[in-house]
A and B are shown apart, each in its own frame.
Chain A
Amino acid sequence: MDTQLRRDVRWLKIYALCSTAAFAILALSAFQKPNAAKKTKFEEIDVERINVVEKDGKLRLVISNRDRSPGPIAYGKPFGYAGGSRPGMIFFNDEGSENGGLTFDGKRQPNGKYSSTVHMSFDQYNEDQVIVLQYADENGHQRKGLQISDRADVPILEVVKLQDSIRKMAAGPEKDAAMKRFMEPRPGEPLFAQRVYVGRDPSKTALVLLSDKMGHPRLRLSVDSLGKASLDFMDADGKVMRSIGEQP
C-alpha cells in the first residue's frame, strides 16, 4: 500500500513538473511579439485599426473603422474633439501632427433621409485642410468638387485654444465682440479663404470659381441647372462687373 502511494506521489511530481514546464513555455510564447523582427505573411486579416508608426513610435498613418478613428492630433497629443467620427485613413507628418486624411461614411436615418460624405484632404503645416476633394450629400442636396484654400499663418492649436476660450464666455456683447475679432483677418489675411472651387454646387450648377486672397469670388465660370453658360467677372462685393454669355 505504502509503496503504491509513494509511486503515485512520484508520478504526480513528474506530472506537476512537466505540466508546469509546458504551461510556462506556452505562456512565454504567447507573450512573445509574433515574428517581431521579421515580415509576417497573411492571406487575409480582419482588423478594426492599423497604426503605421515610425521607429520611435510616432504615428504616420491610421487606418480604422469609425469607433477607433482618432480625433485631431498635433505633436502626438489629441486636441479639439474626441475620436470616433472619422472612418478611413488619417495621415500624419514627421512630427506626429495630422496633415490629411481620406474618410468615408454615409447612411440612411430612420426617417428615410440619408447623408453621405466621402472626403480627402491635405492640411497646411500645423493648420487645417487647404486641399479638399469631397462629395457631401444631405439627402440629395449635393456639393461635390475640389477646393483649394488659404489658411492664415496661425498654428491650429492656437486657433482652437482661442476658439474654445471664446465659446466658454458668457453670452453677451463681449462674447460677440471677441468672436468678431477671432474671425477678423490677422496681418491682412483671413483665417480661411477659399481660393479655387471646381465642382458642382447644391443648385446643380457646374462651377469654376477663382477668388481673391480675402476669399471673394472674382471670376466665375458656370453652367446652371437649365444649361445656361456664363463667364462672369465680379468685384470684391460680389457684384458682376462683366458677364460673357452664349450670345455676343
Chain B
Amino acid sequence: MDEQLRREVRRLRRTTATSVVLLVIVTTSAFVQVRLHTKFDEIDVERINVREPNGTLRLTISNHARLPEAVIGGKTYPLRGGSGVQSAGLIFFNDEGNEDGGLVWTGQRTPAGNRASANLTFDQYDQDETVSLGYGEENRHRQAGLSIIDRPDEPIQIFAESLMVIRAMGEGPEKEARMRRFRDAMMARGLMPADRLFVGKQLDKSSRVTLSDPRGRPRLRLTVDSLGGARIEFLDDAGHVTRTLTGSDAR
C-alpha cells in the first residue's frame, strides 16, 4: 500500500512537472507568435503608429482627434490647432523621427457654406512643405494643383520656437504687433517661403502654369482664363506684364 502510494505520488510529480513545462513553452510560443505576425480580416483603429525597432516614429495613420502635433528637431510643437480644420490622414516622419510630409484630408459644412481640402505634401529637411499636391475649397471657391516651394536653409525650429512664445501671449494689440514684427523680421532676413512653380486651377477659374523667381514673384505665366482666353505672359520683378503672347499674334 505504502509502495503503491509512493509510486503514485512520483508519477503525479512527474506528470505535473512535464505538463507545466510543456504548457509554459506552448503558451509562450503562442504569445510570441502573436507578437511577430498577427492576422486580422479587418480592423478599426483611431490611430496606427508605424515605428522603427528602436521606437522612432515613421508614420501615423489617424483620425483627426489623434493626428500628431508637429515634431521638429525631436521636439513636439502644438502648432496644428487653432485653424478649425479637422484634417485626418497620414503624417510621415524621417529617420530622425521628425515630420517630413503628409497626406491629409478634410471636408465639412460651415455656417457660411463649406470647407474642404486634400493635400499630399513633402517637407524640406528640417523645414516645411516644399512639394504640395493639393485641393482646397471654401464656400465654392476652389483651387487645385501642384506647387513647388523654396524654403530657407535655416531650420524651422527657430520659427517654431518664436511662434510658440507669441502664441502663449494674451490676445490683444501687443500680440498682434509682436506677430507683425516677427513676420517682418523673417521677411527682412529672407526667411519666408517662395512659391517657385504652380500648375493647376486657381480661385478665379483660370487654369495656370506659373513660374516664379527665388523670391516668389511670378515671371512667366501660361493662362487659360475663365472665358477661354489663352496667353503667355512675361512679368518683371514688380509684377508688371512686359510681354504677352496670344493666339492672335502675328508670327
Query: Is A94's beta carbon under 8 Å from chain B?
Result: no
Partner of B34, one of A12, A16, A30: A30
Could you show 7 A-B contacts with beta carbons less than 8 Å apart?
Answer: A31-B33, A40-B44, A42-B43, A42-B44, A46-B49, A47-B48, A134-B131
A 25-38 binary contact with B (CB < 8 Å = 1; else 0): 01100110111111
Partner of A144, one of B96, B98, B122, B232: B122
**Bound: A48/B56 CA distance, A:** 10
Partner of A221, one of B51, B101, B222: B222
Contacts of A221 in B (CB 8 A): 209, 211, 220, 222
Say whether A47 contacts B49, CB under 8 Å.
yes
Among A62-70, A158-166, A169-177, the stretch in contact with B: A62-70
**New A-B contacts (4) at CB < 8 Å, excluding given A46-B51, A145-B197, A206-B213:** A35-B40, A47-B51, A65-B59, A199-B148
Say whether B100 contacts A116, CB under 8 Å.
yes
Among A71-79, A149-157, A179-187, A223-231, the stretch in contact with B: A223-231
Contacts of A247 in B (CB 8 A): 242-243
Say whether A30 contacts B197, CB under 8 Å.
no
Say whether B95 contacts A27, CB under 8 Å.
no
Q: Count of chain B residues with Cβ under 8 Å from any Cβ of A?
A: 80
Main secondary structure of the interface of A (DSSP, over half): strand
**Bound: A231/B249 CA distance, A:** 16
**Bound: A207/B38 CA distance, A:** 47
Query: Is B168's beta carbon under 8 Å from chain A?
Result: no
Q: Which residues from 94 to 113 on chain A have a C-beta closer than 8 Å to any C-beta of chain B? A: 102, 104-108
Partner of A45, one of B12, B49, B130: B49
Query: Is B58's beta carbon under 8 Å from chain A?
Result: yes
B 1-36 binary contact with A (CB < 8 Å = 1; else 0): 110010011001001100110010011001101100
Say whether A198 contacts B197, CB under 8 Å.
yes
Say whether A6 contacts B124, CB under 8 Å.
no
Say whether A135 contacts B122, CB under 8 Å.
yes
Interface residues, chain A, CB within 8 Å of chain B?
Answer: 2, 5-6, 9, 12-13, 15-16, 19-20, 23-24, 26-27, 30-31, 33-50, 63-67, 87-88, 102, 104-108, 114-116, 118, 120, 133-135, 137, 140, 142, 144-146, 198-200, 204, 206-208, 221-223, 225-231, 244-248
A137, A223, A246, A248: most-surrounded residue (chain B CB, <10 A): A223
Shortest distance in angstroms between B205's beta carbon and chain A's nearest beta carbon?
21
Q: Which residues from 38 to 70 on chain B have a C-beta closer than 8 Å to any C-beta of chain A? A: 38-53, 58-59, 61, 66
Shortest distance in angstroms between B224's beta carbon and chain A's nearest beta carbon?
15
Contacts of B47 in A (CB 8 A): 43-45
**Bound: A39/B44 CA distance, A:** 7
Say whether B131 contacts A27, CB under 8 Å.
no
Say whether B148 contacts A206, CB under 8 Å.
yes
Say whether A106 contacts B100, CB under 8 Å.
yes
Query: Is B105's beta carbon under 8 Å from chain A?
Result: no
Say whether A116 contacts B94, CB under 8 Å.
yes
Shortest distance in angstroms between A239's beta carbon and chain B's nearest beta carbon?
21
A13, A63, A65, A198: most-surrounded residue (chain B CB, <10 A): A65
Contacts of A38 in B (CB 8 A): 41-42
A15, A106, A246: most-surrounded residue (chain B CB, <10 A): A106
